[in-house]
Amino acid sequence: MAQRGTDTTPEDAGAEASKARLRMWLRMLKSTRQVEAVLRERLRAEFDTTLPRFDVMAALARYESGLKMSALSGVLRVSNGNVTGIVDRLAEDGIVVRVQVPGDRRASLVRLTRKGQEEFARQAEAHEAWIGELLSDFSAEEADTLSDRFDAVSHKEDET
Amino acid sequence: MAQRGTDTTPEDAGAEASKARLRMWLRMLKSTRQVEAVLRERLRAEFDTTLPRFDVMAALARYESGLKMSALSGVLRVSNGNVTGIVDRLAEDGIVVRVQVPGDRRASLVRLTRKGQEEFARQAEAHEAWIGELLSDFSAEEADTLSDRFDAVSHKEDET
């Protein structure tokens, strides 16, 4: 849009806010992807693992008695197929076990083994330290404020 | 860590900042994924297109004379294979054309056609309006501030 002198009309202000939000979104997306790229690289180098494996273990760590595959897929928002492959590999590595659901022969739960819990504790500690370093420009107060602001975004979308 | 009375040691403060940054990261990631999910759904419903297609068109819209496939992959940070499939489909739909690079028989550039430019203009306008709506809790000033803060994250990672 061409400059229309120094007067600012409500339309200009709206267009400006819209551009500012778009710029914010593109930079938020870029920094999110960059942090994820660093996490992927470090998980590979230091733990010989992947971000989806870490995410599956993180989800299981929150449910000590285990999760059904369908619930695990829901938590991760990835396709059932992917989760199945990841869980198969984690089971081969002794990180998770499948346990039968009492009274439901067709359903099984996945849960971390003792070894899986210990391995996840090590990875989670490193992960937290990496995030602390990558976001070290944000003070604790600023991080708390932004946590609330991002929640507002999540709830906004619940309305759509 | 157990509570150690009301005294706050430097270690406590560091641990608190680390937890705050981790919480911020998890919520930032969640809201980013949720905004992307809304964008995917609306691009599908209103333009019968996908987010990767939109991203390819957005990259090409910034380079009027076209981009090599390798540059396009770099911009998008997705695998060459994926970009190839997307570009093939966009070419079938008359949205992009491949043009020969003068003096390099093996290299070709991809650029938007006139139809592609017009289609992208419509999609980009809708995309900006959706972002404006989804991030409407952020004022123009706040969005500008956050853009700078996210840039700090990106530059942080350049050091790693």
Tell which wins on pLDDT, A73 or B35.
Answer: B35
In a domain, B115, yes or no: yes
Residue A1's pLDDT band, with cuts at 50, 70 and 90, is very low
The residue-averaged pLDDT of B72-97 equals: 85
Contact A134 B157 (CB under 8 A): yes
Tell which wins on pLDDT, A15 or A135.
Answer: A135
Complex ipTM, two decimals? 0.86
Of A30-34, A101-105, B79-83, where does mean pLDDT reach its minimum? B79-83
Our CA dihedral for A122, B33, A35, A115, rounded to 10 degrees, sits at: 10
pLDDT value at residue B81: 64
Q: What tokens were used for A140?
A: 């604790």
In a domain, A12, yes or no: no
In a domain, B125, yes or no: yes
Tell which wins on pLDDT, B107 or A97.
Answer: A97
Contact A34 B157 (CB under 8 A): yes
For the cut 50, the answer to whether the pLDDT of residue A9 exceeds it is yes
In a domain, B3, yes or no: no
pLDDT digits (tens, 9 = 90+) for A93-113: 999 999 988 788 778 899 999
Task: Give percent of chain B above pLDDT 90.
Answer: 63
Contact A29 B32 (CB under 8 A): yes
* Domain range enclosing B93: 20-135
Coarse DSSP helix, strand, coil percentages of chain A, rounded to the nearest 5 percent? 70, 10, 20
For the cut 60, the answer to whether the pLDDT of residue A3 exceeds it is no
For the cut 90, the answer to whether the pLDDT of residue B75 exceeds it is no
Q: How far apart are CA A28 and CA B151, in angstroms?
A: 8
**Nearest alpha-carbon partner for B157 in A148, A42, A125:** A42
Question: For residue A36, what are the contacts with CB-CB under 8 A and spacing of at least 6?
Answer: A51, B29
Tell which wins on pLDDT, B84 or A114.
Answer: A114
What is the pTM for the complete model shown? 0.84
In a domain, B155, yes or no: no
Residue B1's pLDDT band, with cuts at 50, 70 and 90, is very low
Contact A17 B151 (CB under 8 A): no
Residue B134's pLDDT band, with cuts at 50, 70 and 90, is very high
pLDDT value at residue A5: 52
Residue type, A146: L
Q: Residue A102, SS3?
A: coil
Chain B: give the shortest CA distance to residue A76, in Å: 11
Interface test with A, best of B1, B127, B135 (most A CBs within 10 A): B135
Nearest C-alpha in B relative to A127: B22
**Nearest alpha-carbon partner for A108 in A87, A93, A92:** A87
For the cut 90, the answer to whether the pLDDT of residue A144 exceeds it is yes
Interface test with B, best of A77, A150, A151 (most B CBs within 10 A): A150
Of A68-77, B117-126, B144-153, where does mean pLDDT reach its minimum? A68-77
Which residue bears the tokens 């489909």?
Answer: B89
Helix A10-47 × helix A51-61 angle, to 10°: 90
List the single residue in A23, A32, A37 with the smallest CB-CB distance to B143.
Answer: A23
Residue B90's pLDDT band, with cuts at 50, 70 and 90, is very high
Residue type, A53: R
Q: How far apart are CA A23 and CA A17, in angstroms?
A: 10
Tell which wins on pLDDT, B100 or B26.
Answer: B26
Question: For residue B35, what are the contacts with CB-CB under 8 A and spacing of at least 6?
Answer: A25, A153, A157, B131, B134, B135
Q: How far apart are CA B46 and CA B106, in angstroms?
A: 37
In a domain, B80, yes or no: yes
Q: Give the count of domains, chain B.
A: 1
Nearest C-alpha in B relative to A55: B26
Contact A25 B136 (CB under 8 A): no
Provide the CATH number for the domain around residue B26. 1.10.10.10
Of A95-104, A113-122, B36-45, B132-141, where does mean pLDDT reach its minimum? A95-104
Residue B129's pLDDT band, with cuts at 50, 70 and 90, is very high
Chain A: give the shortest CA distance to residue B19, in Å: 8
Secondary structure of B119-153 in HEC code, one letter for each residue: HHHHHHHHHHHHHHHHCCCCCHHHHHHHHHHHHHH
In a domain, B12, yes or no: no
Q: How far apart are CA B83 and CA B67, in angstroms?
A: 12
- Tell me what the pLDDT averaged over chain B comes to: 88
List the single residue in B23, B28, B127 with the smallest CB-CB distance to A32.
Answer: B28
Chain A: give the shortest CA distance to residue B98, in Å: 27
What is the 8-class DSSP label of residue B94?
T
Nearest C-alpha in B relative to A42: B160
Residue A81's pLDDT band, with cuts at 50, 70 and 90, is low
Contact B60, B67 (CB under 8 A): yes
Of A120-134, A140-154, B131-145, B146-160, where does mean pLDDT reach its minimum? B146-160
Q: Which residues of A touch B127 (CB under 8 A)?
A: 22
Across the A:B interface, residue pairs with CB atoms under 8 Å apart total 164
Nearest C-alpha in A relative to B128: A22
In a domain, B11, yes or no: no
Contact B135, B39 (CB under 8 A): no
**Nearest alpha-carbon partner for A69 in A87, A52, A53:** A87
